[in-house]
Structure 1
Amino acid sequence: MKKRRMHNMFLQLDPVTDFILASLENSGFSLYIVGGSLRNRLLGLDVHDTDFTTNATPAQVKQIFSSYTAIDTGIRHGTVTLVIDHVPYEITTMRTEGTYSDNRRPDCVFYTDSIEEDLKRRDFTVNALAYSPKSGLVDLFGGLSDLENRVLRTVGEPAERFSEDALRIMRGLRFSSVLGFEIENETKSAMFHYSHLLKNISVERIYNELISMLDGNNFDKVLRDFLPVFKLIMPEMRLPE
């Protein structure tokens, strides 16, 4: 287990996010902002959705917020979407995961009260950060440094991350296209090596990543650097002369 690295950092949060954090913490649970919503806050970008992770179970989350609409959007994986003022907030119980037999989703999940265990399962270091006003920024894998240097690398071994969930390859290309991040060499090599697993991913999921990717200022470079990957999913693709 890596030693927890904490950064004394204070983020200005909106009133609803503060309310959600306070409600869980006042009920004796820990709660962290995680994922893309935290990454974009640290980059100074607009945040449209806020994702949380907590050691409370989905049933406990729904009980605490019983006055609000709570939707079981991903209950199999511990996710409840809380709707406040018509805005969705995803709250997922901290978890570890079993094997990925379909190269997309874990066959089973196990709840944990360890933020360290939860962050270990995430895709890229810049998405494996966690923040709460009480604890500050939790950074186990050098995600803050990678964020500052605009580098994209996997958490742990790239081979494991992409063989678990091949859609992470497309997500990584999207992040590089939209955020302008340079993909670290071992991560890049593994993207090519495991790209054949994209055949196990639904066309809809790949299409959604492609559409989001097209908005990126760095898309031309990503397309040229990863043309063999794009040809796997769109064999008819050709670059203009």
Structure 2
Amino acid sequence: MKIPPPAKSVLIIAVLYLAAWSLTVAIKWRSEPVIEAMGLNAQGFVWVERVRFDRQSAGSTGHAGGGWCSGGNYVRPRELGPPRIGGKASNSPMPLPKRALFQWFNFSQQRYYEALIDDPSMPQRAKDFAFSLRDWRRFKFSLIYDFSENGKVRLWLFGTDYNAPITIPEDKWVYTLLGTVQGYEIDGDPKKYTNRTKQARQECEIPMQPDPAPAATQPKRESINQ
């Protein structure tokens, strides 16, 4: 079927317009780093119940961490270091947050905790870090959050360059600490995790008896409504 010249001209203009629009969107979308994945880590064994960035629920909740046995006895894990891996893909890219809310259950202590990182400067500091990279658009960015055994939460910006050779880790993985805060105890029913606690003790992921040392020095508070 032969297309008439006027219709052909209209079709060409439409294709060119669509191509220009797609290019504009792509450039605008990558004009600053966005978060494409989430990840979590823990010192000790925790169950992360809730994570919110600004007022948006985030993924990567569930269990993390765990101890190990030596001669049949539980060995307390070492303090967390920098993140080693990125996160799992989130449902959709999201902007860099100014607030991060975390709620979790500590199996070793049988207590619930909450922490809020509230820092309006986080997005700008994350952008400054990304823009300092040699070619930041090659990186996929994750938010990695980890929990220390004494109740501290840290939030990291983690970048992965999937095109860099794995033999040069400093070119493939980069990270910077965005925030850290001490959590505090909140109300919750440990019986919710009775079966999982029993299994964790049998597998030497936690002590046989609850750790008497609280994860936070602050008094118990009511949960934040966000």
Normalising by the smaller structure, the TM-score range is under 0.3
Q: TM-score, normalised by structure 1?
A: 0.23
Give the number of the structure with larger relative contact order, counting CA–CA contacts within 8 Å between residues 6 or more apart: 2
